[in-house]
Amino acid sequence: MSDVRHVTARFGGGRPRVGPLTMAQANMVRCVLTDPPEHMNYRIIRDLPPDTTLRDVAEAVGLLVSRHESLRTTFEGVEAAADGPAGAVQRVTAEGELLIEVRRAPHQGAVDLAEQAAASLHARRFDLSAEPPLRVAVITEGDVPRQVVFVTTHSTADAVGLAVLLADWDSIIDGKPPEPVTAPQPLDVAEAERSPASVRRAGAALRYWETQLRRIPRSTLTVTVDDSRTDWMLPRLRVRSISAARALGLIGARTGVSRSAAVLAALGALAGLRNGQPACPIISISANRFRPELRDYVGPLAQDALIPIDLTEPSFDGVLLAARAASLAAYQNSRFDSASLVQIMEEVSRSRGVFFARDIVFNDMSVPGRPGRTGPDGTPPDIRSAWLPEATLPARVSLWVHRLEGEVDVTLWADPRCLPRADAQALGEGVMRLLIEAGGRDVGLTELSALTGITPEKRGEGWLTVDSCWVDLAAVRRLVADAVDGPGLVVPVPDERLGHRLVCYLNAETTPHDAHSACLAMSPGRMSAIAPHHYVICSSAPADLGSVRAWRDRALTEGPGR
């Protein structure tokens, strides 16, 4: 057991401010309000320098909060506007106090107690309207502070902003005068986002997203499983290679493609190979710190970039160049009003009958110019992988890039229902194998299976390509049966544009509009099903395919029945 008391950190020196949310704040506020706190909160444990006192910690925390308005910001009106906090405001407190927990550890138990404190503070959702967005605990042995725990949330800072905060903290607690804050504060960014030029860019970003959403496959890892999980505890595979880092330099010299884009291209090529589709859409986390004045900004800027990887090229060099062009376009269109994007996604989902979810996520957290371990290669290919404990992450598959120079160091998160462990290991190591081989030559895409062991997913009878998506006809029929009362039958009809068009015949007290709405409502989590394109409501539904011809002709003659 530990003793718990409190000390007070005092902050001030600012001015009270109030104004609208930034686009990234609005996006993150929505997520903080609805997603599990384990997904939305950061937890950090830092060792304290020798001879640090509790007073030193309190003064350092006070100075840190004083320097960054995001640490003394609350949000008003967000609970009532959780579906789009357009009317919400952020309020910056000029001065105040922050209570710091002080937990006294048993003899030589500071490390364990710090983990317990971090877990406790991390598991609670932040009250964005009333609670300071920073929780701090100090772990002492006797009366000597040993470690400090910080917990904050994604509406306060993204990963880059958090790194800026921690660098500030390290300087302050070490007694080094921190550099003056020159980056804008969140309210300054909110004002800039309302300039005519920024509004035009945000509108262009939404148009880009709508164009891509209307043509990409809804899923890259399409399997017939119920994906409506809530815990998202995923196995993690760490993969490292010095040889791959050297290969990235050779790839860049030959093609002009950056290290990050090359890894993205390799992931897309192999995931697309497994799915057997000519395109692989990947969500990449964009830092959105392209302007120099935003490099040290403490606040959320990161938003999703939608990158469709074109796999119609015959060789990997072609995929590399296509991925570079696609990623540049996607990153340029990664700052947008998230409420408007949600509306667009709902409209496109209704039009196509699909439900979009984060299928494959790419998150490059590497720092250019900061190499890791280097040394002579072992027996090529120099690839080392190891399974890590499961952790929570709301994505089916995600590749986190930790380092790209000196050594490629990545972690692959994979839902075993979509990507079993053996397949996940083949994908993680396959990315390295492909990069190493591509360092010396242009690799043909027909060689990828022999090089990596990854082959197209085998799909049995009843699987169809529908509007660029793999669809399991049996899963569609289950969807309709679960969504609409009364007997029905779903029939695929060849279509020159879509590949197949799905016609649903129903004997039910409903309308095509209501039937489609019911199917869409049941779609989340059904990875291999989409809602039908046409609905024919009849007094007696066809009993089998042999008696459906007349109803099929009627549907094709009358056009869409939604």
Q: What is the mean pLDDT of residues 459-482?
A: 94
Cβ within 8 Å of residue 67, ≥6 positions away: 168, 178, 181
C-alpha distance from residue 559 to each of 411, 477, 490, 501, 536 (Å) = 48, 21, 16, 11, 10
Element (H, E) at 104: strand 96-105
Is it the case that residue 225 has pLDDT exceeding 90? Answer: no
Asked whether the CA dihedral 409, 151, 304, 413 is positive or negative, the reply is positive
pLDDT (mean) for 506-521:
93
CA Rg value for the chain = 26
| Low-confidence winner among 202-211, 366-375, 386-395, 411-420 (lowest mean pLDDT) | 366-375
Mean pLDDT, to the nearest integer, of 111-120?
92
Residue 556 in this model has a pLDDT that exceeds 50? no
Q: Give 549's DSSP letter.
A: H
At 109 the pLDDT is 73
pLDDT > 70 fraction of the chain, expressed in percent and rounded: 90
| Helix locations, 35-98, DSSP H | 37-40, 54-67
Mean pLDDT (the chain, rounded): 90
Confidence of residue 100 (pLDDT cuts 50, 70, 90): very high
Which segments of the chain belong to CATH 3.30.559.10? 3-192
* pLDDT at site 112: 87
**Structural contact between residues 327 and 264, judged by C-beta atoms closer than 8 angstroms:** yes
Q: Is the pLDDT of residue 555 over 80?
A: no
Where does the pLDDT of residue 525 fall: very low under 50, low under 70, confident under 90, or very high at 90 and above? confident
Q: Vertex 424, ends 420 and 427: CA angle to 5°?
A: 145
Whether pLDDT at 478 is above 70: yes
Burial of 6 (0-12, 13-18, 19+ CB in 10 A): exposed
Distance CA 85, CA 155 (A): 13
Q: What share of the chain is helix, strand, coil (3-state, %, to 5)?
A: 40, 25, 35
- What is the biggest distance separating any 2 CA atoms in the chain, rounded to whole angstroms? 87
By residue count, the chain amounts to 562
Q: Give me the pLDDT at residue 1, please.
A: 46
Cα 206 to Cα 552: distance, rounded to the nearest angstrom = 37
User: Span 508-516, mean pLDDT?
Assistant: 93
Q: What is the CATH class of 3-192?
A: alpha beta
Closest to 193 in 3D by CA, of 21, 71, 412, 422 = 21
- Region 490-517 average pLDDT: 94
Q: What's the DSSP call for residue 14?
A: S
CB contact set of 494 (below 8 Å; sequence gap of 6+): 500, 501
pLDDT at res. 553? 52
pLDDT at res. 402: 96
Q: Stretch 88-114: mean pLDDT, rounded?
A: 90
| pLDDT confidence bin for 142, thresholds 50/70/90 | confident
Contact 401, 287 (CB under 8 A): no
CB 4 within 8 A of CB 113: no
Half-sphere exposure of 193 (CA within 13 A, CB side): 23
> What value does the mean pLDDT take over residues 510-535?
93
Cα–Cα distance measured from residue 541 to residue 552, given in angstroms and rounded to the nearest whole number: 12
pLDDT for 155 beyond 70: yes
* pLDDT confidence bin for 110, thresholds 50/70/90: confident
Using CA atoms, how far residue 444 sits from 253, 271, 529, in Å, is: 19, 16, 33
* Bridge-based pairing state of the strands 360-364 and 488-495: unpaired
Q: Residues 376, 413: contact at Cβ < 8 Å?
A: no
Angle at 72 between CA 67 and CA 78, to 5 degrees: 145
The pTM score is 0.90
Rounded to whole angstroms, the Cα distance separating 515 from 444 reads: 46
Q: Residue 5 burial (CB < 10 Å; 0-12/13-18/19+)?
A: exposed
Cα 315 from Cα 318, distance rounded (Å): 5
Predicted pLDDT of residue 108: 64
**Residue 436 scores a pLDDT above 90:** yes
Check pLDDT > 90 for residue 86.
no
Nearest to 361 by CA among 221, 467, 199: 221
Predicted local distance difference test score (pLDDT) of residue 83: 46
Q: What is the topology classification, in CATH, of domain 196-452?
A: Chloramphenicol Acetyltransferase (3.30.559)
What is d(CA 82, CA 476) in angstroms, rounded to the nearest whole number? 31
What is the Cα 510 distance to its own chain's centre? Answer: 38
Residues of the chain with CATH 3.30.300.30: 463-558
Of 445, 473, 449, the closest CA to residue 459 belongs to: 473
pLDDT of 49: 96
Span 55-81, average pLDDT:
91
Which ranges in 46-150 belong to alpha helices (H)?
A: 54-67, 110-122
Strand intervals (E) in 365-460: 384-392, 397-403, 408-414
CATH 3.20.20.140 fits 463-558, yes or no: no
| Distance from C-alpha of 535 to C-alpha of 538, rounded to nearest angstrom | 10
Segment 154-169 shows an average pLDDT of 95
Whole-number pLDDT of residue 559: 41
Both tokens of residue 75?
A: 């949000």
Q: What is the mean pLDDT of residues 373-383?
A: 61
Instruction: Kindly provide the b/e burial profile for residues 379-407, where b requires at least 16 CB atoms within 10 angstroms of the residue's own CB.
Output: eebbbebeeeeeeebbbbbbbbbbbbbeb
Asked if residues 413 and 235 have their Cβ atoms less than 8 Å apart, the reply is: yes
Question: What is the pLDDT at residue 156?
Answer: 97
Least confident of 286-300, 470-484, 530-544: 530-544
Peptide bond connecting 292 to the previous residue in cis, omega within 30 degrees of 0: no
pLDDT the model gives residue 256:
97
